[in-house]
Amino acid sequence: MANLKLHSKIVPSREERLNTIVAFGGSGEELVKNAKKGCLKQQERGFSQAAACAEMMPICNSAMLDGNVVIAHSPIGCSAMLPMISLFNKLGRHMRGLPLENVRSISTNLGEHDVVYGGTQELEKAIIEADIRHNPPVITVITSCASGIIGDDVDAAVNRIQPGVKATIIPLHCEGFRSGAVATGYDAFLHGLLKVIEKPGERKKDTLLIVNPLSISRPNEVEIERLLNKIGINVQWFPLFTNISNIKKASEVAGATTLCPLMSNYFFREFEQKYDVPFAEPPMPVGIEFTDWWLRDAAKLLGKEKEIEKVIEDEHARIKPELEDIKIQLKGKKAYIGFNLAKSLSLQSLLVELGIDTVVTTGFEYSDDYGLAPLENLKSRCSDFTVHIGNFQHFEWANLFNREKPDVLVGGLELGGWALRQGIPVAPVLPQTFFTGYEGALSYGKDIVKSLKNPSFAKNLAQRVKLPYRKEWYSENPFKYIGVNGQ
């Protein structure tokens, strides 16, 4: 990692760079033990029901750049999720007081003719159309499996057409077949943005750049601003819901960190190497202990270690009575956590503080870089739990729900429907959910209490829905298809 290829078009896959794995089923203790020994090897599935694509990350995130037009250089199906992302975009803009706008996108709609003869002509037409139709400040071009297999020289096409287009065109190379780790798409997205960031003029000595993922809504950002402002640190959010001018000036900050270490892992190393900006990658600031951890690492970047300790002490004292009341209401409950691993482990830390046992923690992938330290922390604070690493394997989720019978799912859209069909209430973490920092811990704790007090929807749904799996499957080992060579 010491010598990154800053001028490379394509980022390395996470499997290549971080030894990331996308298949694991076992205890948290087993995962930590094997990782520390250096013998945590990639396993395969003999059967895979579904999978998310790394291309979806650049598509979804670039849609949130202010004024951007997304060009999906792909068959039309690759951009099918943009209508849903448009809803998240409007919600995010509303929370930030920005004008409500639809996501602006164009697909080159690659077909059989393009696969045979190449699709760069269609791409150039799409760029010109985007410039004429929308007059945008920025256009992102998202590659796909199809354009990668064809071998379209997307950069050459962009270079040919850029002089005649007002917008800054940013190609993002994220062919889905290159990696089974969805987060490789984050690397591709931020790597593309790095190329338009300019050399710093004067540094803002009191400003911290913070990468904000799509799943973190404005109330969560406000909580982080509140805490950092107490010690004189200003926040510059990057890159979602900001314009290309602010993105170009991102290097003027004194330090950088993130609300999700899964997202920014490659970018920060490039950013430091190119612009000499120090960074920190603590776990997500969710729950008391992980928020303390995050604040200390962030404050250290700007030499504010002493000041942040007073903030932490005051916040602990302030929230303690209300936190204790929530703990009483949640005593003895069991939870299943379903997100990417960085978010799952952070939420598990909060659940420990609320007195809830975690039976299963999930992740779409695992890497020591963002997984090992929080796993070790949790291993010392709670009883052992199952870790499930899988890229959208619904049949394994269904099996685990049936086997563990949690009182509640702490999860997102991906797992929520499957839990409800088995009568398990859901305390969702959606793009508008407030769950970071100290206030977020109280807010989300109350959300869990509400979900447990109102289980009737889940119970009624479970009585009326037939699941697609045979009864025999629920008595099987949920991880039976995971192993070396899929055996």
Task: Give CA–CA dist 58/90, Å, rounded.
Answer: 18
What's the CATH number of domain 198-306, 3.30.70.890, 3.40.50.1980, 3.40.50.300, 2.40.50.140? Answer: 3.40.50.1980
User: Percent of the chain having pLDDT more than 90?
Assistant: 87
CATH topology classification for 56-178: Rossmann fold (3.40.50)
* pLDDT confidence of residue 7: 64
Chain segment 405-441, per-residue pLDDT in tens: 999 999 988 899 999 999 999 999 988 899 999 999 9
Domains 198-306 and 316-486 share a fold: yes
For residue 405 the two structure tokens come to 């019978």
Task: Give CA–CA dist 227/221, Å, rounded.
Answer: 10
Indicate the pTM of the whole model.
0.94
Chain segment 134-193, per-residue pLDDT in tens: 999 999 999 999 999 999 999 999 999 999 999 999 999 999 998 999 999 999 999 999
* pLDDT confidence of residue 2: 42
Q: Write the CB contacts of 298 (distance below 8 Å, at least 6 apart in sequence).
A: 208, 228, 233, 255, 257, 280, 282, 308
Q: Write the CB contacts of 23 (distance below 8 Å, at least 6 apart in sequence).
A: 42, 43, 44, 45, 389, 390, 482
Least confident of 49-58, 131-140, 456-465: 49-58
Chain segment 189-233, per-residue pLDDT in tens: 999 999 999 999 899 999 999 999 888 899 999 999 999 999 999
pLDDT surpassing 90 at residue 66: yes
Instruction: Provide the phi-psi class of 142: left if phi over 0, else alpha when psi is between -120 and 50, else beta.
Output: beta
Task: Give CA–CA dist 74/154, Å, rounded.
Answer: 12
pLDDT surpassing 70 at residue 485: no
360: enclosing H helix or E strand: strand 357-363
Chain segment 78-101, per-residue pLDDT in tens: 999 888 899 889 999 999 999 999
Q: What's the pLDDT band for 483 if we cut at 50, 70, 90?
A: confident
Q: Residue 390 in 3-state DSSP?
A: strand
Chain segment 12-45, per-residue pLDDT in tens: 999 999 999 999 999 999 999 999 988 887 788 8
Going from N- to C-terminal start, the domains of the chain cover 56-178, 198-306, 316-486
End-to-end CA distance of the chain: 33
The burial of 19, by beta-carbon neighbours within 10 Å (0-12 exposed, 13-18 middle, 19 or more buried), is given as middle
pLDDT surpassing 60 at residue 257: yes
CATH topology classification for 316-486: Rossmann fold (3.40.50)
